[in-house]
Chains A and B, each alone.
Chain A
């Protein structure tokens, strides 16, 4: 395959940045998207140019490190992570436009690399069940109905890649936050912190500058782990419940 790449290049956080075009030949359809970028970088290095910086690690769709906007879509044309996208999803001769996640709370560090530290701070604000090591009861002492366990699991599969934010016209982190709130608030272990969890996480989400949700649904169709859109409805329900609870208290 022969490709025409247009890639966002930005030296550092303060550089203005801009799109740069590259021609790349000898791309195999079996390559992953990141292997295609590797090939470009090998070429750039030998030509004395600075290679394109991008985040990646496990390259099997689970660590959540990778993620770029490809032709306007977060993670590109398939509903998967960028590392699991293969070049067979593109046509020979195609122009591919590659940009970093775009959202104010995810500032660009260099080229396609952004800072997603806001997600860590949201988890730190309340996305956990307090269970200090040594304090736990026997694992089977609390039965959890399989449907609840399965629903908690479906939400717990979020990899924190940030595609939902990048895809959202409002730059909202609602899907990310709703996945964690739904996972933990569904479980019996999560009940004691149910109210504070959602209040603290939403407060942090707002403080980080993420936008509000207007139900466009772009997040859920971009999510490589298919976190359900209904989780956001659940987040709203949990939030309303929590506000009522704390008003009573």
Chain B
């Protein structure tokens, strides 16, 4: 990597020493995980129950980890902010889960899934991690079937699969449009059995507000009971954060309303580096917004692109109803530009193409912010009952939200923020830069590079939770000595005091703006300048606007009520304060990365025909950001950038083509 000065260096951030993953073995990629497992320390089954592992989050990664660690014999203490572990946002994943089973005999293999994921991530992911993910995919299906997950089946009684974007094999297993729900319920049931058996101490309606570090190792958390407001400290030998992504920094996203960055952001402030914060996935097929009251956006599964055809009118400003636009006046633009993949190009490409046609003035629906997803041909070919069988629940959901009948007229869709590839930086053992602090699922940055392929999030969450964490935690716990931490140790009480002070401060401002008004404003800044297309001037503007917003927040926010009760405004205020700080770091990261890659499109870096242009000579690295500021109520100092060079031994970077 060259040592030239980066854009914004010295102004918004400084550059620190390089960073490397020192856990993945070298050599043949096919055996790296096997060798790592064999080299790992073990903990005698009888000793495991003496060790307490704290798991925050109960989605696919957290739920699977909690259950699996408890099955091994560890004493697990687990948290979720929802009223039940079954409600974590993994539940909303619709389309499916990838696995290299090759049941279709269509040329799939672990290597091909690995290859597709490295390429799909636009060569910004780590090969070792991705290969392991592909390897584990096969076992995940077996595990979930054994739990009774009702995957779709063929008349033969065998498991069915379908296609997803960015690949040419049928490797996606699914349960109608509710795959995430079914997989999560599987993990939740396994976890519930362990809760019932007393092996997992479950704290629902609790939110982690800070991390406790003793002698340089993560040893506990401070959590707030969302019903009583009581703050409690939980100590253990290791902490796992499986707290999901931070797409809600945009206010409007497909995430659940409660999804937030606070757990990983507080850990970041305590020393965990944040990897690639600007890598955001904007999903191409969401229901367009209907007005200012919009509180969230709803995804229509990518699986719809298997049978739906995407188009806009050829003419600008053509506002005839879809049915009145003749075939030769329609532009099936994905099929035209990308004939090999057609409507199944990866998400980043499909989203940008939709933005381009709308920017040209060819968008449909209110405000011209939409494109058609048309099932007329599919209904003609397969018949309406077959379409209903495959996509019925999605069509129903669309009809309910828009009051339009998608069997009779094409759906209108528009891209929306959906997933964040960035997250806490972790090594091959999913350990952050704080020893004893692990991050799993969407909360870490590791496997999807700059763009996640469809049906890979469920795969990663479960791979981390069922198969990786149980191994790496054995190794961590087996190779350390743990003295008990006293409840009144200064490292503990100091954090408790800070958490309490922050809550008191939020409650005392009593300003003239609601938390939501700040959140909406932050979201608008992020969407305008750090959304589907980004440029130098816009990002600088965003950074300055976010800084002002932060100042304003701490002066003018109004949080009614007290800290000693169920107080949803206080919960939101705690989260939005963190989103504001994270938003600034995302913009700094996006400014620094003067290349286009995956979901990160820098207008300055594109090919003659408008495709994203990577700059491997300068940016083939993971950006791991170190928190540098002490600023207690908002103010942050310049973060420090550490680069982890990406090494490609197997899949050699090339410009992605889906034409």
Contact = CB atoms under 8 A, between A and B. Distances in A.
Contact of B68 (A119, A133, A146, A190): A133
A63 B80 CA distance: 14
A129 B190 CA distance: 8
Contacts of A34: 295
Contacts of A78: 400
B87 A65 contact: yes
A116 B82 CA distance: 11
Contacts of B193: 124, 128, 130
Given A129-B189, A133-B67, 16 more contacts: A28-B291, A34-B295, A38-B295, A45-B514, A57-B87, A57-B258, A58-B92, A64-B84, A88-B403, A120-B204, A124-B195, A128-B189, A132-B190, A136-B146, A145-B153, A160-B86
Given A63-B89, A143-B156, A131 B190 contact: yes
Interface stretch (B31-39, B178-186, B336-344, B433-441): B178-186
Interface string A18-38: 000000000010111011001
Contact of B85 (A62, A84, A120, A149): A120
B159 interface: yes
Contact of A152 (B150, B156, B254, B512): B150
B295 A139 contact: no
Contact of B146 (A50, A53, A120, A189): A189
A159 B184 CA distance: 11
B566 A113 contact: yes
| Size class of the B contact interface (CB-based, 8 Å) | 35 or more
A69 interface: no
29 contacts: A28-B291, A30-B290, A31-B291, A35-B293, A38-B295, A46-B512, A50-B560, A51-B560, A58-B256, A59-B256, A62-B92, A62-B178, A64-B86, A86-B403, A109-B227, A110-B565, A120-B204, A121-B196, A123-B189, A129-B147, A131-B190, A133-B143, A136-B146, A139-B142, A143-B157, A144-B157, A145-B157, A146-B153, A149-B151
A59 B265 CA distance: 24
B40 to A, nearest CB: 15
A55 to B, nearest CB: 6
Interface string A218-243: 00000000000000000000000000
The 10 closest A-B pairs by CB, nearest first: A143-B157, A124-B196, A136-B146, A128-B189, A131-B146, A153-B150, A124-B192, A30-B290, A57-B256, A133-B68
A56 interface: yes
A49 to B, nearest CB: 7
A31 B192 contact: no
Given A50-B560, A117-B204, A156 B150 contact: yes
A127 interface: yes
A59 B157 contact: no
A38 B293 contact: yes
Interface of A: 11-12, 28, 30-32, 34-35, 38-39, 42, 45-46, 48-51, 53, 55-65, 78, 80, 84, 86, 88, 109-110, 113, 115-117, 119-121, 123-125, 127-140, 142-146, 149-150, 152-153, 156-157, 159-160, 183-184, 187, 189-190
Contact of B82 (A60, A65, A149): A65
Given A145-B157, A146-B154, A149-B152, A63 B146 contact: no
B157 A139 contact: no
A199 to B, nearest CB: 14
Contact of A123 (B87, B147, B188): B188
Interface of A (DSSP majority class)? loop
B245 to A, nearest CB: 14
Contacts of A63: 82, 87, 89, 91-92, 256
Contacts of A117: 83-84, 204
Contacts of B139: 136
B257 A59 contact: yes
A152 to B, nearest CB: 4
B195 to A, nearest CB: 5
B166 to A, nearest CB: 23
A138 B142 contact: yes
Contacts of B227: 109-110
B560 A49 contact: yes
Interface string B222-257: 000001000000000000000000000000001011
B639 interface: no
Given A45-B558, A65-B87, A57 B196 contact: no
Nearest to A129: B148
A138 B143 CA distance: 8
B345 to A, nearest CB: 25
Contacts of A156: 150, 175, 182, 185
Interface in B512-555: 512, 514, 516-517
B395 interface: no
B64 interface: yes
B131 interface: no
B148 A86 contact: no
A143 B176 CA distance: 18
A34 B294 CA distance: 10
Contacts of A46: 512, 514, 558
A9 to B, nearest CB: 13
B101 interface: yes
Contacts of B178: 62, 157
A69 B633 CA distance: 40
A222 to B, nearest CB: 16
B269 interface: no
A31 B82 contact: no
A35 B256 contact: no
Question: Which of the listed residues B71, B154, B192, B195 has the most CB atoms from chain A within 10 Å of its own CB?
Answer: B192
A38 to B, nearest CB: 6
Contacts of A86: 400-401, 403
A213 to B, nearest CB: 23
Contact of A42 (B153, B256, B258, B516): B516
A150 B182 CA distance: 13
Given A34-B295, A110-B565, A117-B84, A149 B467 contact: no
B508 interface: no
A53 to B, nearest CB: 6
Nearest to A56: B257
Question: Which of the listed residues B83, B159, B561 has the most CB atoms from chain A within 10 Å of its own CB?
Answer: B83
A127 B157 contact: no
B158 A152 contact: no
Contacts of A65: 82-83, 87
Interface string B285-306: 0000011011110110000000
A110 B568 CA distance: 11
B561 A50 contact: yes
B319 interface: no
B105 to A, nearest CB: 13
